[in-house]
Homo-oligomer: A and B are copies of this chain.
Amino acid sequence: MHTVLRSATKTVTIGHDQPFCIIGERINPTGRKQFQLQLRANDLSRLAIDVEQQVSGGADVLDVNMGVPLTDEPALLGRAITMIQTLTDLPICIDSSIIEALQVGLETYQGKALVNSMTGEEDRMDQILPLIKKHGAVIIALPNDATGIPMTVAERMTITEKIVRTVEKYGIPLEDLVIDPLAMPVGADPDSLKVTLETIHSIREKWGLNMTLGASNVSFGLPYRHAINAAFLPAAMSHGLTSAVMDARTPLIVEAVRAADLLLGLDPWGSNWITRFRALEASKAALNTGA
């Protein structure tokens, strides 16, 4: 199954037979006090740095979240999207929990957007899916509902089934649905990621859907987080994860993903890998000669 995302000029395809899709996560004020103050003052200049860092780090898509309390989030998100589309041709993932913000985001965006995210509660689906249908966008859906985050594979599969049926009911093709199988911090529950990996495996077996998740989350609260995230992604990819919302600024993690592409036959004969390695060697050589 191929999930297609587009900006005005560029297409990105997510699929089990495609290299992994890195959705850069950093364009988000959560936990960034200085950036929040700037956004409250309607100052979007920081976006240029964040976009550049994610793009040069190797992001394929950019997640854009403008959730700052005490601001007009829909207006801010619309302006951010317009600005980012002048800075890069990468497709955008419009990230908000506020329906009006998603609406303005989708109206502003030039292309076929990814939308982050929707839970499996019926009222949420009935609010968001008509927007997805109208704009021909792609929705990320989480298999949790009003009862909370289910901790078994069976429960996650049941809610995913409900989401699949509702998406079909709205006449949205299943390739425009991406499931987030839910990755919780392993420091809070040693067995939680085994459930995530099995859920990924089962969703791939049953529907062949594309999947994404927040990859930084898994190491929350533990030391030396990059190494944990770098080990998690190849494992999740080998079970069928096709995309992740992650920070593209850390070479260790991006390299783990590109190495896993190679190991899983998604970079035949290592042509991407070797290109990446040569670029790295060239930049080292340039540094050494002062060029």
Contact = CB atoms under 8 A, between A and B. Distances in A.
Contacts of A173: none
Contacts of A222: 262, 270, 273-274
A186 B235 contact: no
Contacts of A190: 265, 267-269
B264 A194 contact: yes
Contact of A234 (B223, B232, B265, B274): B232
Interface stretch (A40-48, A128-136, A252-260): A252-260
Nearest to A195: B265
Contacts of A238: 197, 235-236, 238-239
B259 A231 contact: yes
Contact of A227 (B187, B255, B269): B255
A227 B259 contact: yes
Main secondary structure of the interface of A (DSSP, over half): helix
Contact of A193 (B193, B230, B236, B265): B265
Contacts of A228: 259, 262-263, 273
Interface centre among A239, A262, A268 (most CB of B within 10 A): A262
A230 B218 contact: no
A229 to B, nearest CB: 8
Given A262-B186, A263-B218, A227 B239 contact: no
Number of copies: 2
A267 B277 CA distance: 33
Nearest to A222: B270
A231 B229 CA distance: 11
Contacts of A231: 230, 234, 255-256, 259-260, 263
A122 interface: no
Contacts of A237: 235
Interface in A178-231: 186-187, 190-191, 193-194, 197, 218, 222-224, 227-228, 230-231
19 contacts: A186-B265, A190-B268, A193-B264, A193-B265, A197-B238, A223-B277, A224-B273, A227-B256, A228-B273, A230-B230, A231-B234, A231-B259, A231-B260, A232-B234, A234-B234, A235-B237, A235-B263, A235-B264, A256-B256
Given A190-B268, A224-B280, A235-B237, 19 more contacts: A186-B262, A187-B270, A190-B269, A191-B265, A193-B265, A222-B262, A222-B273, A223-B274, A224-B273, A227-B255, A230-B256, A231-B234, A231-B256, A231-B263, A232-B259, A234-B234, A235-B264, A236-B238, A238-B238
